[in-house]
């Protein structure tokens, strides 16, 4: 008899990250063999149990991994209460996948999508310090003193955050910054705290994955080498 924690099972069915599917469980939207289950610690007997989400049967899927060059004007959720376009509309696949983390509505660049909950959780967990590199276009040249402050750390809403690396390009209003955390609007808030507005923002690298020549709105499957490269680089996947 093969069993699996319910949150992991639901994630492998393509319903979202483990954190997201735990919300579904607590909301009473999951049934096992016709009975609502609201306990996060519940186990599923994979070959025996029938699991439904909002009344529809779900099942585990083959693992899928995609890279999208996210354009502006899309939200990085599987649905949106404001009926805005979601990034899932850009990828033509029959496999249910979900974004790894998020990019703001008007932020562009590297976005990974998958139905592999373990892969997602490992990339997002702060202890694993997965690097994200962003290219920010700011409204005025970055001063050296402010660069040093952001490298040392700033307090955002009571919690300290910092950039791991800052590279100012020849055009001093274009700055590449490296971060290891994914707080909402983190990059923009870091600059805004010191009086800079971010006019444009693009993620150009996530966990070693870059866009190459992938156009805005374009997508492709990650190669096995890229997937294994991430797993090797971040050790425990």
- What the block records as the tokens of 44 is 């599923």
Instruction: State which of 60-64, 113-117, 149-153, 171-175 shows the largest mean pLDDT.
Output: 149-153
Query: What are the φ and ψ backbone dihedral angles of 66, each rounded to 5 degrees?
Result: -130, 150
Q: What is the DSSP string of 141-184?
A: PPPHHHHHHHHH-EEETTEEE--SEEEE-SSTTEEEEEES---T
DSSP H helices in the chain? 6-12, 18-26, 117-124, 144-152, 186-193, 224-233
Better-scored residue on pLDDT, 109 or 236: 109
User: Which of 104, 116, 139, 213 is the catalytic position?
Assistant: 104
Q: Is residue 104 among the annotated active site residues? A: yes
List beta partners, residue 69. Answer: 110
Mean pLDDT, the chain, whole residue set:
92
222: which DSSP letter? P
Integer Rg of the chain from CA: 20
pLDDT of residue 43: 93
Give the separation between CA 164 and CA 178, rounded to whole angstroms: 5
Q: What is the mean pLDDT of residues 110-135?
A: 90
Query: What are the φ and ψ backbone dihedral angles of 136, each rounded to 5 degrees?
Result: -110, 135
Percent of the chain with pLDDT over 70: 98
The string over 210-231, giving b where at least 16 C-beta atoms fall within 10 Å of a residue's C-beta and e elsewhere, is ebeeeeeeebeebeeebbeebe
Residues in the chain: 237
Domains of the chain: 3-57 (3.10.290.10), 65-126+211-233 (3.30.70.580), 131-206 (3.30.2350.10)
pLDDT digits (tens, 9 = 90+) for 37-76: 998 889 999 889 999 999 999 988 888 999 999 999 999 9
Of 25, 62, 60, give the one whose Cα is nearest residue 46.
Answer: 60
Confidence bin at 199 (pLDDT 50/70/90): very high
Tell me: pLDDT of 16 over 90: no
């Amino acid at each position: 008899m093969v069993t699996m924690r319910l949150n992991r099972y639901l994630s492998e069915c393509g319903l979202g990250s483990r954190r997201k599917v735990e919300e579904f469980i607590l909301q009473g939207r999951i049934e096992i063999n016709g009975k609502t289950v609201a306990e996060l610690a519940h186990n599923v007997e994979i070959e025996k149990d029938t699991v439904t989400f909002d009344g529809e049967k779900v099942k585990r899927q083959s693992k899928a991994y995609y890279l999208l060059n996210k354009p502006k004007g899309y939200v990085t959720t599987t649905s949106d209460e404001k009926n805005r376009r979601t990034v899932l509309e850009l990828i033509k696949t029959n496999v249910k996948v979900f974004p790894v983390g998020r990019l703001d509505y008007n932020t562009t660049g590297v976005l990974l999508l998958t139905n592999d909950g373990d892969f997602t959780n490992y990339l997002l967990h702060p202890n694993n310090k997965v690097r994200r590199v962003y290219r920010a276009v700011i409204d005025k040249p970055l001063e050296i003193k402010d660069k040093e402050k952001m490298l040392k750390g700033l307090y955002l809403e009571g919690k300290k955050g910092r950039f791991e690396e800052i590279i100012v390009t020849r055009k001093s209003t274009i700055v590449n910054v490296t971060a290891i955390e994914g707080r909402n609007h983190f990059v923009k808030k870091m600059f805004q705290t010191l009086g800079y507005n971010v006019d444009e923002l693009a993620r150009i690298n996530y966990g070693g994955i870059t866009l190459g020549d992938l156009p805005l709105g374009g997508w492709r499957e990650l190669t096995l080498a890229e997937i294994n490269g991430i797993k090797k680089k971040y050790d425990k996947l």
